[in-house]
C-alpha cells in the first residue's frame, strides 16, 4: 500500500484527468454541434448535461461515503467517466450524447466528492489553503490541455473521445494500490441523520463560500461551451479559439498556489474580493477588444490569473467557516454550487447570443462577478483563515 504523500499525488492525478475530460468535452461537442447547424441555445442547453448529472447525484453522496469509504467511491466515479467517454463515437445522436454527458457528470461528481473530502479532511490547518490550491491547480492543468483535443477532430470524431478514455483508465488504475479509509465518525453523525438539516446549517454558516465555486462553474462552462460558438460568429478561426480558451486555465496555474498561500496568511475574504475585482476588469476589457485575437489571449490570461482560483479559494473558505462534522455536506454544496453555475452559464449565455447578437457576451460574465463581489462585501464574519468553529 502507498504512503499518504503518494496517495495525495494519485488523488491529484485523478483530479487532473477529470479536468482534462471536462475541458475537452465542452468545446469539442460545442464545435461538432455548431458545425452540424445546431442553434446556440440548443448547444448551450446540451452543455448543461454534465452539470445536471453533478447536481442530480450530489445530495446522495454522503451515505455511500460513510458506508463504503473513499476508495470505492472514487473508483466507481472514475469507471463511469471512462466507459461514457469510450461510448461517444459509437452513436452520434443528440439525445444519446446528452445521456452520456449526464453520466459523466454523475461519475465526475462521485470522483470529486471522494477526492475533495479526503483532501480537506486530512489537510493540516496551517497550510489548508495551499493543499486545496494544489487540487484546484491540477484540475486547471487538465482543463487547460482538454480543449486542445478539438484539433484532433481532423483525424475523426472518435479520436479525442478514445484518447481521453484511455488516459483516464491509466490514471484510474493507480487507485488499486491505495488503502481505503472511511470518514471519521464525527464527520458524518453530528446533528443526527437528517441531511436536509445538515445542508441547511452548512448554508446558513457558509453561504458566502459557495458563491466562488458557483462563479467558477459559470465561467468555466461559458468560456468552454459558448465562447467557441460566439468566437466563430465574430469571425475568429476555430483552431485559434482552441488556443485562446486554455489561456484562462493556463494563467490560473501561476496564481493558484500563491493565492492559496496568501489566503492562509491574510484571509480568504480579502483575497476573494481582490481576485473578483480583477476578473471584472479583465472581462470588461475582453468585451471592448474582442475583435483582436491578441487582446482575447491577454484578457483570458488576465482573467485566469485572478478568477481561475475561485473554486479552490471557495473550498478553503468553506472549510474555515464550517465545523469538521459538516465538511462532507460543505463539499457537496460546493459541488452543487459549481453545477448550478455551470448550468446557468451556457443556458443564459446561449439565450443572450440569440436575443442580443450585437452585444458582447462577456457582459454576462461581468454582471455575475459584480453580484459575487457585492455579496462577499455584504457578508459579515471572519475574513481570516482561522476557522470560526473548533
Domain ranges of the chain: 4-181+192-378
- Within the chain, residue ranges assigned H as helices are 4-35, 40-47, 49-57, 62-68, 70-87, 94-122, 128-145, 158-172, 185-189, 195-206, 211-225, 227-233, 238-266, 268-288, 293-307, 310-321, 327-355, 362-378
326 secondary structure, DSSP code = G
Residues of the chain below pLDDT 70: 126, 185-194, 380-390
What are the grid coordinates assigned to 9, written together? Answer: 499525488
pLDDT of residue 113: 85
pLDDT of residue 193: 47
Residues 335-365 as b/e (b if ≥16 CB within 10 A, e otherwise) read: bbbbbbbbbbbbbbbbebbeeeeeebbbebb
CA 130 to chain centre: 18
pLDDT of residue 213: 94
The answer to whether the beta carbons of residues 114 and 72 sit under 8 Å apart is no
What are the grid coordinates assigned to 379, written together? Answer: 457578508
What are the grid coordinates assigned to 45, written together? Answer: 442547453
CA distances, 67 to each of 72, 97, 114, 196, 255 (Å): 10, 32, 13, 19, 37
The answer to whether the beta carbons of residues 105 and 195 sit under 8 Å apart is no
Taking each helix axis from N to C end, the angle separating 49-57 and 94-122, rounded to the nearest 10 degrees, works out to 50
- Rg of the chain over CA atoms, in angstroms? 20
pLDDT of residue 380: 66
Range 4-181+192-378 has CATH code 1.20.1250.20: yes
Give the Cβ contact number of residue 121 at 10 Å. 17
Phi then psi for 383, rounded to 5 degrees? Answer: -105, -10
Q: How far apart are CA 378 and CA 372, in angstroms?
A: 10
pLDDT of residue 78: 92
pLDDT of residue 387: 43
Mean of the per-residue pLDDT values for the chain? Answer: 84
Task: Give this prediction's pTM.
Answer: 0.76
What are the grid coordinates assigned to 22, written together? Answer: 471536462
Q: How far apart are CA 10 and CA 18, in angstroms?
A: 12
Q: How far apart are CA 177 and CA 143, in angstroms?
A: 26
Q: How far apart are CA 144 and CA 308, in angstroms?
A: 11
Amino acid at each position: 500500500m502507498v504512503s499518504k504523500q503518494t496517495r495525495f499525488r494519485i488523488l491529484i492525478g485523478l483530479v487532473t484527468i477529470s479536468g482534462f475530460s471536462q475541458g475537452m468535452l465542452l468545446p469539442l461537442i460545442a464545435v461538432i454541434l455548431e458545425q452540424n447547424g445546431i442553434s446556440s441555445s440548443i448547444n448551450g442547453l446540451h452543455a448543461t448535461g454534465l452539470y445536471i448529472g453533478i447536481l442530480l447525484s450530489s445530495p446522495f453522496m454522503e451515505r455511500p461515503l460513510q458506508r463504503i469509504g473513499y476508495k470505492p467511491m472514487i473508483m466507481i466515479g472514475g469507471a463511469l467517466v471512462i466507459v461514457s467517454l469510450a461510448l461517444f463515437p459509437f452513436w452520434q445522436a443528440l439525445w444519446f450524447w446528452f445521456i452520456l454527458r449526464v453520466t459523466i457528470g454523475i461519475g465526475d461528481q462521485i470522483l470529486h466528492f471522494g477526492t475533495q473530502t479526503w483532501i480537506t479532511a486530512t489537510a493540516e490547518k496551517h497550510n489548508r489553503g495551499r493543499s486545496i490550491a494544489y487540487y484546484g491547480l491540477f484540475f486547471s492543468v487538465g482543463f487547460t490541455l482538454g480543449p486542445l483535443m478539438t484539433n484532433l477532430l481532423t483525424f475523426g470524431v472518435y479520436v479525442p473521445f478514445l484518447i481521453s478514455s484511455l488516459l483516464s483508465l491509466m490514471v484510474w488504475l493507480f487507485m488499486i494500490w491505495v488503502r481505503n479509509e472511511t470518514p471519521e465518525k464525527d464527520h458524518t453523525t453530528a446533528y443526527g441523520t437528517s441531511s436536509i438539516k445538515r445542508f441547511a446549517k452548512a448554508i446558513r454558516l457558509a453561504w458566502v463560500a459557495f458563491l466562488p465555486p458557483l462563479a467558477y462553474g459559470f465561467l468555466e462552462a461559458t468560456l468552454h461551451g459558448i465562447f467557441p460558438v460566439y468566437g466563430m460568429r465574430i469571425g475568429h478561426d476555430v483552431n485559434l479559439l482552441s488556443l485562446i480558451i486554455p489561456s484562462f486555465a493556463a494563467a490560473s496555474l501561476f496564481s493558484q498556489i500563491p493565492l492559496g498561500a496568501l489566503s492562509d496568511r491574510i484571509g480568504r475574504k480579502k483575497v476573494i474580493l481582490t481576485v473578483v475585482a480583477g476578473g471584472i476588469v479583465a472581462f470588461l476589457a475582453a468585451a471592448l477588444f474582442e475583435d483582436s485575437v491578441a487582446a482575447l489571449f491577454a484578457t483570458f490570461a488576465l482573467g485566469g490569473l485572478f478568477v481561475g482560483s475561485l473554486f479552490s479559494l471557495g473550498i478553503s473558505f468553506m472549510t474555515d467557516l464550517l465545523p469538521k462534522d459538516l465538511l462532507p455536506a460543505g463539499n457537496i454544496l460546493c459541488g452543487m454550487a459549481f453545477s448550478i453555475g455551470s448550468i446557468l452559464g451556457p443556458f443564459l449565455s446561449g439565450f443572450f447570443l440569440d436575443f442580443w447578437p450585437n452585444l458582447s457576451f462577456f457582459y454576462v460574465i461581468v454582471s455575475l462577478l459584480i453580484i459575487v463581489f457585492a455579496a462577499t462585501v455584504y457578508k459579515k464574519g471572519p475574513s481570516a483563515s482561522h476557522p470560526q468553529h473548533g
